[in-house]
Amino acid sequence: MIFYINIMILTKKKLSALLQRNYLRLLKYVAVLAIFGAYYVFWSKYNLVERKEQGRQIAKIEQEIDSIKSKIAQEKQLLQDLQSSNEALETFAREQFYMKKENEDVFVVK
């Protein structure tokens, strides 16, 4: 029993030194991880700052693509209408290109 108490006393004395060494070892790992994290976030080829900006650009370009697709659909519908009806073709020519018949005058009001 005396031997057991003696070990406990030695262990308590060495415990602070042991914890201090473990703390320093842990601090080394945390510092290395912090440096690696900073490198990954700011300076690497795949850094998060540029990825976020590229994500914004992708969203903007996808929005432009959707807008252009809707315009293409409208133009296809207009083309189909113009090819199917001579009256629609005449109306389009009069409105867009200010064409007129021989006995008409055209006044443009904006």
For the entire predicted model, the pTM comes to: 0.56
> Does 107 reside within a domain?
no
pLDDT of residue 7: 52
Residue 93, domain extent: 46-98
Give yes or no for a contact between 55 and 62, defined as CB atoms under 8 angstroms apart: no
> Does 106 reside within a domain?
no
* Cα 98 to Cα 90: distance, rounded to the nearest angstrom: 10
* Cα 6 to Cα 70: distance, rounded to the nearest angstrom: 85
Same domain, 92 and 53: yes
> Does 109 reside within a domain?
no
Q: Which residue has the higher pLDDT, 12 or 109?
A: 109
Same domain, 7 and 40: yes
* Cα 39 from chain centre: 21
pLDDT digits (tens, 9 = 90+) for 11-29: 666 656 666 777 777 888 8
Q: Which of 25, 2, 26 is nearest to 10 (CA)?
A: 2
How many domains is the chain partitioned into structurally? 2
> Does 30 reside within a domain?
yes
pLDDT digits (tens, 9 = 90+) for 52-103: 999 999 999 999 999 999 999 999 999 999 999 999 998 888 888 888 888 8
Give yes or no for a contact between 90 and 82, defined as CB atoms under 8 angstroms apart: no
